[in-house]
Amino acid sequence: MFGKLDWSAIPFDQPIPLITSLLIVVVMLGVLILITLKGWWPYLWGEWITSVDHKRIGVMYCLLGIVMLIRGFADAIMMRTQQAVAINGPGYLPPDHYDQIFTAHGTIMILFGAMPLVIGIMNFLVPLQLGVRDVAFPTFNSVGFWLTASGALLVNVSLFIGEFARTGWLPYPPLSEATYTPGVGVDYYLWAVQISGVGTLITGINIVTTILKMRCPGMSYLRMPIFCWTALASCLLIVAVFPILTATLAMLTLDRYLGWHYFTNTLGGNPMMFVNLIWAWGHPEVYILVLPAFGIFSEIFPTFSGKPLFGYRSMVAATLFICIISMMVWLHHFFTMGAGAAVNTFFGISSSIIAVGTGVKVYNWIFTMYGGRVRFDTPMLWSMGFIFTFCIGGLTGVLLAIPPADFLTHNSMFLVAHFHNVIVGGVVFGVFAGIEFWFPKAFGFRLHPRWGKAAFWLAFVGFWVTFTPLYILGLEGMTRRLQHINIVAWTPWLYVSVAGVGILILGVIAQVIQLVVSIRDRDKLRDVTGDPWDGRSLEWATPSPPPFFNFAVMPNVEGEEAYWGIKLRAVETQQLSPQPDYQPIEMPVNSPVGIYTAFFAFVFGFAMIWHIWWLAILAFVAAYAGFVVFAWRDVHEFHVPAEEVARVDQARREARTALLARMAEQGALP
């Protein structure tokens, strides 16, 4: 009846996961009870859960990403402390549990932390920057988000029911084959990543179509904000490589469930093919993450330097260059696997070449600041911290790209330090910069600047104190994923690293305090103009937060930096453009299909993990039925009457007029 599921799946004998998961269950129940008691369900259901508004979905993505980031950070704390106490001893985490922790840490941080954050920011921003009202497929957007969320839920369910994979975040066969890992851990990994991968693919298709087919009048390719270019490149990569992940994991699933021989080490299976295929996805994946972060920095540097971006066209070229070359370097993740000199040389050179594109970008950012009037607000601090951190990470990456050197550093702590250096320094710093920058646009008030700066400095210093020792340990020969350590000489560095984690914890606390303080002081931090940072692209032309239809009348773009041009004209003539003729607007209606599909995807995944076949079939049929019902609906859109559009836009125009008047009073106008 219940397949492999029985009471032994609950970890009664392991206090750490048991207590953690009980705590999570209690907190979640508490939140649900609170929502019920306060009567918030209709609001949540109508305004968020079934919403197809790209801004709402973007915010929900970011929320999911932040929660998962904290979950992954908890794993990181356990790993660092375990290594520091397990010197010539067992430490406090048995190998069985420790292996699950490093697997969960990698999976969660990349696929359920960084990806939702990056996708969330793209979702929120791309239509606003392009001057349109929504993404190409709003309902699918909601489906994509909820699928990602149910994947994340599956990973977290594994904490309480069963176990997670113990194979590392990329489950290499033959270890991950049913022969050597018979439990449900790898199955949890497979189905969680598969389900969220489908969600990611939907988003990729959606944003590519939005950027290529839905731009406001006059927004030609070379007038698009650079963030849109990086989002386009990133989503093209999603479309190109996420199917590889799907295919590879499907093959491993067939091996595990049906005894096929794709990656087995017997009967003609080829485990190395898995390594080859998974990295053909895995390498572009890091560029999927970092390209939008590059885009965020490229928006922040011009804004806070008061200058246009230096070398806009070279930036576009470098972005597309990275997009293509990133699909030609994947072998550098397995130089040591035994390919010959010709193959290793080719991929070594291509890996070094890809640094050129990033180098172009770094110089462009520096030259953007040069001669500008730089303001050191929190987003700018994160951006400047990024340049420094990312450059060091890039340089160590070039070391790893040289095959002979890689034979020494492969699988060592040096590698661990390197990829944290680029992913934390690039993606996480970028996401935090973006959140600080666009938070007022999303919620109508700014984040508290003092606490933001404190959080930045703690994170920056904490990062370096944590990871510099890992570089040294790697060069001294420490390999990654060690559950205990037998070399006493490494002890001091491990202790320093734990101290760094302590600083990072303070950084996280500062970040949380910043949010709480900002919500408390929101009236003081209110952004009434819609343009709190003196911005340059179209999202700042809307009020904060933007109305659900974004633009009362679609903007007409006449040059690069669309909003900047509009603003200069308004400042110079000291008046707004003439009041337009408002038309009714068509907007897509909300739809529960996203949460419906995701619910059955979750049930399907859970049933497959535990071999509950009848439930899997049931879930599949229910999902198909839901699809048909959704396709059958007659009403797709509703009309916003012209009077309502006019009313909303009047408020915006009044705020802008007041701003102009205030500037005139202060004698700031030319």
Partner 1 sequence: MSDTPLPASVETIRRVRADPRLGRRGHGSEGPAKGAGHGDTGPASKRIIVGYGFWIFLLSDIVMFSCFFAAFAVQSHATAGGPTMAQIVETPRVALETAALLLSSYTCGLSFAATNARSKLWTQVFLLATGLLGLAFVGMELQEFIGLAARGFTPQRSGMLTAFFGLVGLHGVHVSLAGLWLLTMMAQVQLKGFRPEIIHRLICFNLFWHALDIVWIGIFTIVYLMGGLT
Partner 2 sequence: MSHSDTDPNLHSEDRDHREDHAPGDEPEESAGHWILNANLGLGLSILLTVTAFVLAATHLVYAPSIPVALLVLAIAQMGVHLVFFLHVTTGPDNTNNVLALAFGILVVFLLVVGSIWIMAHLSHNMMPMPPDQMQSMQQ
CA diameter of the chain: 83
Q: CB-wise, 137 or 335, nearer to partner 1?
A: 137
The Cα 120–Cα 145 span in angstroms is 9
612 binds partner 2 (CB under 8 A): no
Q: Which residues contact 170 (CB under 8 A, 6 or more apart)?
A: 106, 278, 279, 282
CB of 338 to partner 2, least distance (A): 5
Q: CB-wise, 246 or 270, nearer to partner 2?
A: 270
CB of 362 to partner 2, least distance (A): 27
Given candidates 9, 77, 273, 512, which one binds partner 2 under the rule CB under 8 A? 273
Residue 182's binding partner among partner 2, partner 1, none (Cβ under 5 to 8 angstroms by kind) is none
Residue 631's binding partner among partner 1, partner 2, none (Cβ under 5 to 8 angstroms by kind) is partner 1
Task: Select from 194, 164, 336, 176 the least CA-distant residue to 264.
Answer: 176
* Cα end-to-end span (Å), the chain: 79
The Cα 1–Cα 604 span in angstroms is 15
Residue 15's binding partner among partner 2, partner 1, none (Cβ under 5 to 8 angstroms by kind) is none
The Cα 353–Cα 203 span in angstroms is 29
Q: Which two tokens stand for residue 640?
A: 């916003």
Given candidates 104, 240, 331, 485, which one binds partner 1 under the rule CB under 8 A? 240
Q: Which stretch binds partner 2 (CB under 8 A): 43-51, 391-399, 438-446, 580-588?
A: 580-588
Restricting to residues 375-434, which ones interact with partner 1 according to CB under 8 A? none
Contact characters 208-227, partner 1, x per CB under 8 A: xx--xxxxxxxxxxxx----
Do residues 298 and 319 make contact, with C-beta atoms less than 8 angstroms apart?
Answer: no
Restricting to residues 107-146, which ones interact with partner 2 according to CB under 8 A? 133
Rounded CA Rg of the chain: 25
Q: CB-wise, 50 or 206, nearer to partner 2?
A: 206
Do residues 455 and 547 make contact, with C-beta atoms less than 8 angstroms apart?
Answer: no
273 binds partner 1 (CB under 8 A): yes
Restricting to residues 241-270, which ones interact with partner 1 according to CB under 8 A? 241-244, 246-248, 251, 254, 258-262, 264, 266-270
Q: CB-wise, 38 or 213, nearer to partner 1?
A: 213
Restricting to residues 66-95, which ones interact with partner 1 according to CB under 8 A? none
In a 3-state reduction of DSSP, which class is residue 502? Answer: helix
Q: What is the DSSP letter of 178?
A: T
Q: Which two tokens stand for residue 549?
A: 């239809």
Task: Select from 594, 599, 600 the least CA-distant residue to 621.
Answer: 600
The Cα 540–Cα 543 span in angstroms is 7
Give the amino acid at 239: V
Given candidates 239, 398, 499, 509, which one binds partner 1 under the rule CB under 8 A? 239
Alpha carbon of 473 to those of 122, 358, 413, 416, 660: distances in Å? 37, 28, 6, 10, 58
The Cα 61–Cα 149 span in angstroms is 8
CB of 123 to partner 1, least distance (A): 15
Q: Which stretch binds partner 2 (CB under 8 A): 170-178, 361-369, 551-559, 620-628?
A: 551-559
| Contacts with partner 2, residue ranges (CB under 8 A) | 133, 212-213, 216-217, 236, 240-241, 244, 265-268, 270, 272-273, 276-277, 280, 324, 327-328, 330-331, 337-340, 342-343, 541, 551-556, 566-567, 569-570, 576-577, 580-581, 583, 585-586, 653, 656
